[in-house]
Structure 1
Amino acid sequence: MSIDVIDPGDDWNEEERQIRARQMAMYSVKALAVGREVARKYILFPDLKTVLAAFDRAYQLSRELGIPQGLLLNGPPGSSKTSVVDYFIKSLPPMPDVVDGFGALYLRLRPGASAGFIVSQLLSALRHPFTNVRAERVATMRDIAFEAMEHKGTRMVFIDEAQCLALRGRGRVSDDRDSSAGNLLRELMDRGKVAIGILADLRLQSLDHVDAALADRVTARITLSHFDNDAIWAAFVAELARIKAIDMTLLAEPAVRAATHAATLGCRRAVKRLVTEAVLIAVDAGSNRVRLEHLQLAFRRTNGPSDVLPNPYGSA
């Protein structure tokens, strides 16, 4: 969408100057390239290795034993639930009976999601040309999705934002009479012969109150949390500091490591956002290493100017 700027106090030359000034404030191509290299690094700390082992087990057994395989992974926002699934899907090794890119599928729910909504999401993930599912066509489109998964060799389906299973819409809690989505997921495991990975925030601690029959199939339960300021955090930051795109050894210094924990509260997403921003700033400042002033400015840019949250790195 184009924007026509009308400012009676400026002539065309002044407006052009302002636009160019805004463009100059953007990060450089070089900074963005280095930032992307840092942002795409994925550190497999112990908790994630546990999760990946559970995914591997469910993926392998899903079509082999005829026994439903499912797991519930919950944790607060930013605890790597979605990113570990993304890593798992992208790192799956090729298999002769699996079409590349379809071994595991990822769906995202919304409050009040119905069976029809899930079927539509499945068809979209399978790249089916028709994804609109009317109420009277749910069963037919479900069968089409199940057949497509069989042909493509799909072994696992991940359901993100699954706390929505406990809501009927507008925040109302679900009950056994409102289980079309839960019934569809059971069919997915029983008839579709695929494993289910359910991702949810801490509002969904168990499936027992959502769908007891589904809970009986989803037996493995793992919780992720934010980092405490402890030895595991120190090891995580040490690995982060070893990334070779730019010198980030400052991050491993005890005082800076503690400040970074205070700045992010151990949230992995916040850590990636903050550190990547500091890298962008450092590169455009002509530095080959991240310095304290870069972290100070990165904190201000990612959190906004606020007196409520003091800058853990001090003031520039």
Structure 2
Amino acid sequence: MKAAIYTEYGAADTVRIAEIPTPAPGPKQVLIRVRASSVTTADWRLRASAFPGILWLPGRLMTGLLRPRNSVLGMEMAGEVVAVGHAVTRFTPGQRVFGFAGGGAHAEFLVLDEDATILPTPDDLSDAEAAALPFGALCALVFLRDVANVAPGQRVLILGGSGGVGVYAIQVAKALGANVTASASAGNSGLMRDLGADVVLDYRVDDPASAGPYDLVFDTVGATNWARIRTVLRKTGLFLPLNFGARELWHMLRAKLAGGPRIVLHVNADRADDLRVILGMIADGLLRPVIDRRFPLERIAQAHVYVEGRHRKGAVIVDVTPAAQVPAAA
């Protein structure tokens, strides 16, 4: 099967298309023909070994100290089941599915455990739309609902509102009843309002304090830090950075000792139940997939370049196996 692989850490051109063996499902696993995947921030950070600060060494120990342990990236996917292990009960061949792969989805076929974060794809979602959801939408849901406990009437600032997490954070915060301010470039102001933002700030010229104070600042792109943002938070407010390192750990400890606004650092797990909540929000008209660009698998290195530029508007989709191409599973 075709796959986008990288065998060393580096720039986007380290990713290349190669033929690798097609995996076979175990007793409790499913073999999925991947129709669509995406390139996420996590993908380019793994490829470039761009782990922040003190997380570099733990990151390399996790992914491979000298070279990548797993050569195929791809965190989210949509496709169809082509084979199942003899003990599988939840899925059947021919069934459309989507979900969180955790890696390996930049290939024509992917094996996942039956109890992984995958669900049947609703008929009214295309494969590209389904593949645009798991990474960003799940992150936004967990951080805002579970970590920040966003409540109706709260004032929430989303930094990086047009990014892969930001476009969903706006929608989720609005669905939770918040008054939402989104910060993005001026060219994305229309998209921010379409997604539900009450106030839109141009990050190049507008002071976040102009629309504050806030109960929550959710920084989805590493746009600010505690020293700059604490003055726009209420005394009971929360700063929630998606990206963090030693500096944020130190600031979190200092904030706890000082009282007043808090910092919380969190890494979310991916659960099928949360993905069901996302589907429920879509069915209720509270959330929609947001796709910026689409690239064929053969141009995936260009997708990496685009995502690493940090100016995308939603998901960047990779069309792995278009419907017109149906390679054999064996």
Q: Return the TM-score normalized by structure 1.
A: 0.31
> Between Structure 1 and Structure 2, which shows a larger proportion of helix residues?
1
> Between Structure 1 and Structure 2, which shows a larger proportion of strand residues?
2
Rg larger for = 1
Larger RCO (alpha carbons 8 Å, 6+ apart): 1
